[in-house]
């Protein structure tokens, strides 16, 4: 008799030890890359710097990422891929607009407090890099596809043949991007989470009119 991973409280299997270790290494590399870029500026960070901060071998980095830009964006990319799952985990009785709001806000947990002026300035510089903007365009596309698939499952529509899931998912992503741009411009700095929440509330209010 073989034994798989033990179930989690929701009934699904927990990642095995090897998978957890790989996820932890990926997260550590991404966190190190983002910290270094914030501290030094993106152009002053090398892959060798990142592996030294994360205390892993250079070849380990190559097993996970093709570039430092990909590493910097990896945590956001991983969370984006999970957003469809977050929507499907919402109660079936919850109205779709409310379920979408809660799923997206879950994606932005940890942003309920404002960053300092210096941190925001560094984040703006990083986000303004053409390479980073390209990575985030890919992340937004992945998030939209994940949301559209989940919306399709919740509503019984096929995103491959019905435009509704992609239109709704695209509207949600657009609202979050408007909120993020406002967050970038805020002076003094504001927390991101309430701005995202306001944008999504405005979207759902407009849809209801």
105-122 residue pLDDT tens:
998 888 899 999 988 988
Query: How many structural domains does the chain have?
Result: 2
Domain check: are 53 and 127 in the same one?
A: no
pLDDT at 208: 61
Domain boundary among 52, 71, 90: 71
Look at phi and psi of residue 11 and say left if phi exceeds 0, alpha if psi is from -120 to 50, else beta.
left
Residue 68 has pLDDT above 60, yes or no: yes
Rounded CA-CA distance 154/148 in Å is: 10
Residue 142 has pLDDT above 70, yes or no: yes
72-94 residue pLDDT tens:
999 888 888 899 999 999 999 99
In angstroms, the Cα distances linking 14 to 22, 144, 205 are 14, 26, 38
Domain check: are 100 and 127 in the same one?
A: yes
Q: Is residue 7 part of a domain?
A: no
pLDDT at 130: 92
CATH number of the domain that 145 lies in? 1.10.357.10
Mean pLDDT across the chain: 89
Q: Which helix (H) or strand (E) holds 76?
A: helix 74-81
Report, as an integer, the average pLDDT of 189-204.
94
Using alpha carbons only, what angle is made at residue 20 by residues 6 and 77, rounded to the nearest 5 degrees?
120
Domain check: are 78 and 171 in the same one?
A: yes
Domain check: are 149 and 92 in the same one?
A: yes
* 3-state SS assignment for residue 59: helix
Rounded CA-CA distance 34/7 in Å is: 33
- Domain that includes residue 180, residue range: 74-208
């Amino acid at each position: 008799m073989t034994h798989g991973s033990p179930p989690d409280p929701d009934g699904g299997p927990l990642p095995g030890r090897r998978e957890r270790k790989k996820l932890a290494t990926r997260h550590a590399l991404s966190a190190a890359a983002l910290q270094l870029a914030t501290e030094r500026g993106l152009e002053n960070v090398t892959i060798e710097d990142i592996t030294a901060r994360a205390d892993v071998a250079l070849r380990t980095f190559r097993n996970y990422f093709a570039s430092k830009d990909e590493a910097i964006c990896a945590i956001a990319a991983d969370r984006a891929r999970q957003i469809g799952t977050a929507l499907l985990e919402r109660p079936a009785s919850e109205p779709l607009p409310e379920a979408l709001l809660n799923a997206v806000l879950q994606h932005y947990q940890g942003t309920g407090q404002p960053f300092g002026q210096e941190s925001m300035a560094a984040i703006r510089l990083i986000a303004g890099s053409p390479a980073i903007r390209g990575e985030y365009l890919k992340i937004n596309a992945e998030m939209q596809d994940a949301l559209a698939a989940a919306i399709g499952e919740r509503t019984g529509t096929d995103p491959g043949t019905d435009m509704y899931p992609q239109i709704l998912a695209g509207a949600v992503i657009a609202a979050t991007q408007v909120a993020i741009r406002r967050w970038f411009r805020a002076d003094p700095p504001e927390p991101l989470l309430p701005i995202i929440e306001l944008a999504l509330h405005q979207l759902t209010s407009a849809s209801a009119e």
